[in-house]
Amino acid sequence: MKKAKVICLLISAILLSVIISGCSTPVTNPTTTAGPSTNPTTTTVPSTKPTTTPTADDPVAKIAGNTSGNIANWGFVAQQGDWIYYCNSDEQLYKIKTDGTSKTLIPLSDDKPRYLNVIDDWIYYLNVGEKNNNMQQIYKIKTDGTNRTKISDDMAMSVNVVGDWIYYSNSSDSGKLYKIQTDGMNKTLISNDSAKRLSVDGDWIYFVNKTEGEKIYKVKTDGTGRALVSDQPVYDINIAGDWVYYNYRENYNLYRIKTDGTGRTLISDDNAYHFNVVGDWLYYFGNDKLHRIKTDGTNSALLSDDILLNAISIAGDWIYYQDSFDDKNFYRMKTDGTEKTKID
């Protein structure tokens, strides 16, 4: 039974990455700026705003569209101020107040959103819907549900919005690392590496490098400074403070390593298929159970043993998830495991 649940979990995660998306009237096709080589040198590209890592008190600051941990979990949930934006089990986009009131549908036609990023009065997302065979393209819509706009025709993954720039893995160009401005202009190649699991923190982009055996690399947002962070093959990464958290691809054990590549430490030898780091806590789903553990590897605690999920999203004091044991209905629970509540 346990093996069957794990297989179900892995199949669900794989299917998310291959669903096709819908479309709407595109904006003018942006011009691509010639980018750096695999070992990039400095190039003249549009400047980026300085960035900061969102804090637990303000998990989605105006400068960044979502947290590293939520983006690593497909961006099903994002928070801005008193509003939570989320993709429900019916594949539609909603917003709800942090106190659970004022639930509102944001109409997206046939779009199925992932990688939610909210900045000012715009929601940015990857459309994984099926209309007209347009696959995984980046859109934006106002938080009031107006002005739905396609930003790029590229087939994208791992969408991070920081300031005026969108960073993504471009599946239309062998997974290479790109950025484009939020108005759809100045598309720029950052790295020729085939990149996935992107996380933008400050002036750096951390990513899993498929070209280099699924190892962790970093590169500056202007395409310079490409460097190896960890030589272990990994599945997923989160960035929090000066640390990169990851699950080792060979056994899914949880590790952390400094962003400069030093201080590798084992956090847990559980099989962690999905995880999300917030503050001093790391939340993970492993061995068919939801746990949390301090980022230094202490104070491990079981939160739930009766759910099956394929992503862990966190906003404020709440964990949001779809329960595959319950027809993928959408739930939330407190980060201490209490007050499990179904969101209709």
Q: Are 220 and 205 within 8 A, CB to CB?
A: yes
- Say if residues 219 and 40 touch (Cβ distance below 8 Å): yes
User: How far, in Å, CA of 165 to CA of 267, rounded?
Assistant: 33
CA distances from 252 to 235, 274, 323 (A): 8, 9, 21
How far apart, in whole angstroms, are the C-alpha atoms of residue 216 and residue 229?
5
Taking the C-alpha atoms of residue 300 and residue 294, their distance in angstroms, rounded to an integer, is 7
**Residue 209: enclosing H or E segment and its boundaries?**
strand 204-209
Whether residue 14 is predicted with pLDDT greater than 50 in this model: the reply is no
Per-residue pLDDT tens digits for 211-221: 999 999 999 99
More confident residue, 28 or 166: 166
Amino acid making up residue 33: T
Across 120-145, average pLDDT: 86
What pLDDT, on the 0 to 100 scale, is given for residue 133? Answer: 55
211 backbone dihedrals φ, ψ, rounded to 5°: -65, -30
The residue that leads in pLDDT, 113 or 2, is 113
Nearest Cα residue to 1 out of 308, 335, 327: 308
List of residues 6+ apart from 81 with CB closer than 8 A:
none
321 exposed, middle or buried (CB, 10 Å; 0-12, 13-18, 19+)? buried
Tally of CA atoms within 13 A in the half-sphere of 331 that contains its CB: 26
Q: Is the pLDDT of residue 63 over 70?
A: yes
- CA–CA gap between residue 176 and residue 314 (Å, rounded): 28
Work out how many domains the chain is built from and give that number. 1
In a domain, 306, yes or no: yes
Classify each residue of 204-231 as buried b or exposed e, where b means 16 or more C-beta atoms within 10 Å of its C-beta: bbbbbbbbeeebbbbbbbbbeebeebbe
Task: Tell me the CB-side half-sphere exposure of residue 281, using CA atoms within 13 A.
Answer: 18
Q: Which two tokens stand for residue 111?
A: 């779009």
Give the distance between the most distant pair of CA atoms in the chain.
Answer: 56
Position 33 in a domain: no
Average pLDDT over residues 125-132: 78
Establish if 284 belongs to a structural domain.
Answer: yes
- 321 pLDDT higher than 50: yes
Residue 220: alpha-carbon gap to chain centroid: 19
* pLDDT classification of 5: cutoffs 50, 70, 90: very low
The pLDDT tens digits of the residues spanning 260-299 come to 999 999 999 999 999 999 999 999 998 889 999 999 999 9
Residue recorded with tokens 């790391």: 282
Of the listed ranges 47-51, 64-68, 305-309, the one predicted with least confidence:
47-51
Q: What percent of the chain has pLDDT over 90?
A: 68
Q: Angle CA(142)–CA(148)–CA(150) in degrees, nearest 5?
A: 125
pLDDT in tens, 134-181: 579 999 999 999 999 999 999 999 999 999 999 999 999 999 999 999
Confidence of residue 310 (pLDDT cuts 50, 70, 90): confident
The mean predicted confidence, pLDDT, of the chain is 84
Whose CA is closest to 112, among 95, 129, 125, 126? 129
Classify residue 236 by burial, with Cβ atoms within 10 Å: 0-12, 13-18, 19+: buried
Q: What is the pTM of this model?
A: 0.82
What pLDDT is stored for residue 287 in this prediction?
83
Q: Which residues contact 223 (CB under 8 A, 6 or more apart)?
A: 35, 36, 40, 41, 42, 43, 45, 188, 189, 190, 191
Reported residue count of the chain is 344
Q: What domain range is 256 assigned to? A: 2-28+55-342
Residue 329's pLDDT is 84
* Average pLDDT score over residue span 231-248: 97
In a domain, 37, yes or no: no
Q: What is the pLDDT of residue 326?
A: 82
Can you give the pLDDT at residue 130?
62
pLDDT on residue 134 = 56
Find where tokens 């559980």 sit: 270
CATH code, domain carrying 198: 2.120.10.30
How confident is residue 330, by pLDDT bands cut at 50, 70 and 90? confident
Whether residue 227 lies inside any domain: the answer is yes
Contact 80, 89 (CB under 8 A): no
34 falls within a domain = no
Residue 42 lies in a domain: no
The answer to the question of residue 47 being in a domain is: no
Is the pLDDT at 64 greater than 80? The verdict is: yes
